[in-house]
Structure 1
């Protein structure tokens, strides 16, 4: 597709305009032009990128790519009186919406319950991408892609969007002044307005992240705790693990013994918001759980399985796809607190234990799915 941009405006001759022309030997600022030959008609692509410095014609090119589609405004059309989980694809399914949010790296559940104006810039950026994924648009042009967020969120968010978008059948053209996202997006073609060159093919590869896992004493938990969707006390007899990328703490998990069922319980999993969507969370969880079957866990010889529970729809879906995990329970209505309290009192009396002040566990309406990683599944 041949695109020719010819922008015109008045040639001003005011005193200041004339002085600028004289000082900098600039005859006029009235004319701007750029030509581009983009492979738009070729249907065998998913994502293209127009990249270049500000003022080099990216937006003008974007307007001509699909004139009937226009340029997507990710900040427009959001109601101020609804949380984004209701505002995104209101006629769609719950799993599709939450899946889209998780797919673009907006996995912070409290953020789902806020209206769009209450989100940070990084959260708004990802919410806009999630809306595109959930709506399943056939064509879209996104201007200022990743321009309003810090570079870490930009790169991870770009990579998360690329993976999610390529699962569908649509085509997206991203307009950006940042070259650092190209390897993360892995586009099918790139047009550089700075050089006028078009590049096609598998020339970009997402950087491999080296994840290091360390056992800690729990001192990192206060840093991760604000991002956990439940407020709970410390786990009893737990060992804490933290995942690092390039020396930065990015994910957290704890494991405590459940020897009465021959295993360990993994809990308190958190991935920092700026790293959600980078693909480190499941890798980290699997590695920590694998360690429970080794001498890194002092109960390893008594550990037949590791148990993990979560309410996060995206994580549940990922675990169901992983052959190392088997779903063993699904509680859709939460726990009965009165029944729990009665069980605790009965066990206390039967065993002659000191009376507990506990009033029972549960009482919430949180749907919880339980998963198990067995020793045999790890060895397979």
Structure 2
């Protein structure tokens, strides 16, 4: 493996510290159930000294600051603790019907058609497609080929993201905000921002959060949801209920109820940085990513290929092509992030790292995008400028790649990477190892 000089880059959020809240009224709940008498019940009672009783009961309690859950300025809460510690019981007692109850997905329809109705909407009412795709993208499920599949054929991670998107759209007040609404929210004063959250963002409580997915997916989904809610792109407040403590630092909740110790703490931790390694790679690496590209699994024979790793695992692929007849002009021809790692900015970070490497070689780099999240990122970022908008796409190119699919019929936007003013952007200052595989 030949080392090429470069730099490491990070995807991370800013840091906050919040002081603990002191007044602590207590929520105290007792649950019970009947004990049915039988020979085996009596036998177990005798073997393990379980006292005979007509009912079994258990008490759960936690101290929570008075009014903090209804009136204070918060966006994300977390109820965490071991199995059997009373998480779901406390959540139902505190939030009632705001605890999401999953509904069955239709087996004969695509997931994109599974978002009809909800609280405040007439039965059978179909939400606008743009609203649904925005929410699916906001929770990190941003693969159009998978949107048109039925729920039962998706992976566990994809199913969980669909359930989460459906929960966050459970009523007519929940949903995603467009770019203009998000900009208005970000430009508001902190006082107005707090009031807006309290009075306009409904609350969703999601039980068994990340319980059915592997822990890598859990981390990524937690970071994705946190990012979407705090940016205003997901128009809800969320309380996650889970037995997994590892999501805490990725979800960055404003408050945590730990049922293992019956403690309430008010905090917002810094999300761990995501350090990616970028490698020049051979075309063979594309096989892992080809089926996840939303247009075509083909790769041009002369593409320059890059592979991004997170903690030693491949997570994203990027390829560039020299524009024929245009000296020192290159374009991003392929960029794919594996589904389990979508939603936290890995794809755009890789694209910008690759573009920056080309820029150092004196190249100009363009990307043509039709995916809403890529277009939205490039429009907001000072590192890109719009060079062309084609509402009906571009004409089909022949003789370049077998079975090439042009953008005819698809609205696309082309951007040029400009980096920072002056000498160009550095790919983040913490050493970014790029090697040949």
TM range (shorter): 0.7 to 0.9
Contact 2:383 2:419 in 1 (8 A): no
Match of residue 412 from structure 2: 368
Match of 1:13 in 2: 37
Query: Residue in 2 aligned with 1:255?
Result: 320
2: distance between equivalents of 1:223 and 1:252?
Answer: 9
Q: Which moved more, 1:285-294 or 1:89-98?
A: 89-98
Pairing 1:122–2:157 present = yes
* Contact persistence 1:133–1:164 (CA under 8 A): no
Q: Which residue of 2 aligns with 1:101?
A: 136
Mapping of residues 298-309 of structure 1, within 5 Å = 300-301=361-362, 303=363, 305-309=364-368
Query: What is residue 170 of structure 1 aligned with on the other side?
Result: 236
SS, match of residue 140 in structure 1: strand
Contact 1:129–1:161 at 8 Å: present in 2 too?
no
- Higher mean alpha-carbon deviation, 23-32 vs 153-162, is at 23-32
CA RMSD between the two structures: 2.6
Shift of 1:376: 6.6
Shift of 1:307: 1.0
Match of 1:34 in 2: 60
Instruction: Please point out which of 65, 85, 103 is paired with 1:76.
Output: 103
Deviations 1:89-117 (A, max 9, x none): 76555443322212211112211112333
2:114 matched residue in structure 1 = 87
3-state SS, counterpart of residue 30 of structure 1: strand
Change (3 A) 1:327 1:92: farther
Q: CA deviation at 1:308?
A: 0.8
- Whether the 8 Å CA contact 2:278–2:307 is kept in 1: the answer is yes
Q: Distance in 2 between matches of 1:37 and 1:357?
A: 64
Indicate the residue corresponding to 2:184 in structure 1: none
Which residue of the partner structure matches residue 329 of structure 1? 388
How far off its partner does 1:196 sit? 0.9
CA 1:224–1:361: 2 relative to 1, 3 Å: closer
Q: What's the offset of the Cα at 1:138?
A: 0.1
- What does 1:148-297 correspond to in 2, within 5 Å? 148-168=212-232, 170-202=236-268, 204-258=269-323, 260-261=325-326, 262-294=328-360
Greater C-alpha radius of gyration: 1
* Conservation of the 8 A alpha-carbon contact between 2:27 and 2:63: yes
Distance across 1 between alignment mates of 2:231 and 2:273: 21
Moved more, 5-14 or 321-330: 5-14
SS of residue paired to 1:270: strand
TM-score by length of 2: 0.74
Cα distance change on mapping 1:357 and 1:36 into 2, 3 Å: closer
Residue deviations 1:112-135 (CA, integer Å, cap 9, x gap):
112333333211211122234453
Decide whether the 8 Å contact of 2:384 with 2:419 is kept in 1. Answer: no
Question: Per-residue deviation at 1:232?
Answer: 4.7
1:190 offset after TM fit, Å?
0.8
Deviates more, 1:126-135 or 1:323-332: 126-135
Cα distance change on mapping 1:360 and 1:165 into 2, 3 Å: closer
Structure 1 spans left out of the alignment, 5+ residues:
295-299, 345-355
Post-superposition Cα deviations, 1:330-359, rounded to whole Å, max 9, x if no partner, equal 22223445xx66xx8xxxxxxxxxxx9989
Contact 1:95 1:313 survives alignment (8 Å): no
Query: CA 1:98–1:15 in 2, change beyond 3 Å: closer, same or farther?
Result: same
1:3 aligns with 27
Distance 1:17 1:252, change over 3 A: same
Cα pair distance change 1:219/1:32, threshold 3 Å: same
Question: How many Å separate the matches in 2 of 1:320 and 1:55?
Answer: 48
Shift of 1:288: 0.6
2:166 matches 1:131: yes
